[in-house]
Amino acid sequence: MKTKMNVLALALVPFISLAQDDTTSKEPELTTAIELGFLLKTGNTNSADIRAGAELRYDLEHWRNSLNFNILGKKGEVTDEEGNDKWVTSDQTWNIAGKTNYILNERGTNYIYGSGDYKQDRFSGFESQSSMSTGWGRRWYKTEVASFDADIGPGFKRDVVSATETTAEETRDAFIIQASGLYLHKINSHVQFRQFVSAKYAPKNGENNVYRSETSVITKLIETLQLKFSLNIDHNSVVEPGTKKTDTETAVTLVYSF
């Protein structure tokens, strides 16, 4: 719980500090997006899936800040050994991530960052996974329609391995090198492509490395409503026996921005 609170505190620091900063004359830019997808299937097979998320971005002078929250739940109807139908949870995941960039030069190319995230995935073999990192980044490419940012820095990672019938819950702490990149491309006035990749590499032999890829295409339906197609891939290099290393998620959701 202490680690969880530390990560959430780091995620909120940029917003608290900026709220207290009144020395700049530039108007702040605040954008919020709420994402929702739902699928209910009845008949020969009964199931229900829901995916929801929220993104908050706050930019002011030399600061670029973001806070993201996502949740995924899946239930399906199965028949037990006695022939009774019951609903069983097949997937349950939620995560929160915060990041702040402080721009170092007038051109906005170089920046230092601080980031933190916390994740719970009921069926991953981990009770929770969290990390913190800080380092240097650069906007390597910027045009009217596209941009590419990448950063790297040291950090700390904590994996809490779930208890089983034969083993107790275990906490594994590790020093990491974190690297991430974000590419944005505005295909036209209604369609945007987004590609995000990250790696949390633990140099010590035998420790778990975490990799993530988020690919999405967002199509504007009206001024404040978009349709989002996304593919997310998560990979852990070291997992418990009987657990797969790679999870993928494909989704179609509606996004409301304001």
Confidence of residue 23 (pLDDT cuts 50, 70, 90): very low
Please tell me the predicted confidence (pLDDT) of residue 46: 75
Average pLDDT value for residue range 17-33: 63
150-200: pLDDT as tens digits = 999 999 999 999 988 888 999 999 999 999 999 999 999 999 999 999 999
Q: Comparing C-alpha atoms, which of 208, 207, 211 is closest to residue 198?
A: 211
Query: pLDDT at residue 25 above 70?
Result: no
225-239: pLDDT as tens digits = 999 999 999 999 999
Task: Please state whether beta strands 29-41 and 63-79 pair in parallel, antiparallel, or not at all (unpaired).
Answer: unpaired
